[in-house]
Structure 1
């Protein structure tokens, strides 16, 4: 299934590179655009496509969550191979002796056959949310139920709710995207 996004767009004598995000979630598209623009000091054309993560709806652990991010980027590339970059973002949860915590993996591929990845910081989830996740609910749905929200995962997400908006989902993902871009910003070193 190919979509008709332009490969490059001429804009004030500058070429815009195309980035395809393996999600239609507006937060994931927006944070990708923001992070790439900030990292490279130029603007990009960013579009999202619905892709399968190939993992459970609520990934658990580093391995499954990273696999979901890689699959999203790879499937975005299969859907629209004419782009310059493909980005997969997958949120997951895990547990340790302190409780359940949330995080996300970022995976980026380029048209130069280069890839990179980075992980966000982690934060612990309240017991009520943890119980709902353990019962089979996704984190976003659990947040909506516990905090009387509607579609919070396409807004500030758990991190936004729990930090009272100090760190929203866009800022949370943006930093990890920039970190995943390090090899692309330093091609002579990687």
Structure 2
């Protein structure tokens, strides 16, 4: 990364996702100034992705749609939150996909299990954010602290959860030469 000013197209207008993207990029590339351009693009998946694969597909679709909307940018990022059932419990997580002209980086956030009352509402077809709002008597919590913030009393919030995954998706860009190298020469 040589330019000291870079543009990131964030495939969402959600302030949590924009903040997570900026913090992750700034953490990995502290000498670079990043400008975020939020854009609302379709994920091509359900409003509430219910599997790991559907969630990853949503993040990939968002990043590609963001690239098509603003091809002049330096980076495009898709962040898609999803859930999946494990051992009869519903786990929440997100996939982050970062794209540049030279490649694609992917990472999944940490996951955590949802309380049964929230999981039941999601299982009945409600989006996780709406289920959280109903159970915790909040409004638009997905644009503030998210489920993880509500459940941890903001010891960890949604932006922090996503920020780490953004940084992990950027590993391939921070170490580009290693990722372009095919094998060790013998």
TM-score, normalized by length of structure 2? 0.92
Structure 2 unaligned blocks of 5 or more? 180-186
Number of the residue aligned with 2:98: 108
Task: Please state how far the C-alpha of 1:39 moved relative to its aligned partner.
Answer: 0.5
Matched, 1:19 2:8: yes
User: In the alignment, what sits opposite 1:140?
Assistant: 129
Q: CA deviation digits over 1:124-158, x for unaligned, max 9? A: 00111011111110000000000001100000000
Structure 1 distance, partners of 2:50, 2:124, is 13
Tell me which of the two structures has the higher relative contact order, counting C-alpha pairs closer than 8 angstroms and 6 or more residues apart: 2
Runs of 4 or more, structure 1, over 4 Å off, are none
Q: What is the CA distance between 1:187 and its match in structure 2?
A: 1.1
| Aligned-pair CA distance for 1:98 | 4.7
- RMSD of the TM alignment (CA)? 0.9
> Which among 73, 76, 81 is matched to residue 63 of structure 2?
73
Paired residues in the alignment total 176
Q: Give ranges in structure 1 of 5+ residues lacking alignment.
A: 1-13
User: Cα distance, 1:15 vs. partner?
Assistant: 3.6
Work out which of the residue numbers 81, 87, 92 in structure 2 matches 1:97. Answer: 87
1:34 aligns with 2:10: no
Which of 113, 116, 128 is equivalent to 1:127?
A: 116
Distance in 2 between residues matched to 1:48 and 1:184, nearest whole Å: 21
Per-residue deviation, 1:62 = 1.0
Q: TM-score, normalised by structure 1?
A: 0.91
Structure 1 match to 2:78: 88
Residue 189 of structure 1 aligns to a residue whose secondary structure is helix
2 CA distance for matches of 1:168 and 1:63? Answer: 24
Partner of residue 117, structure 1:
106
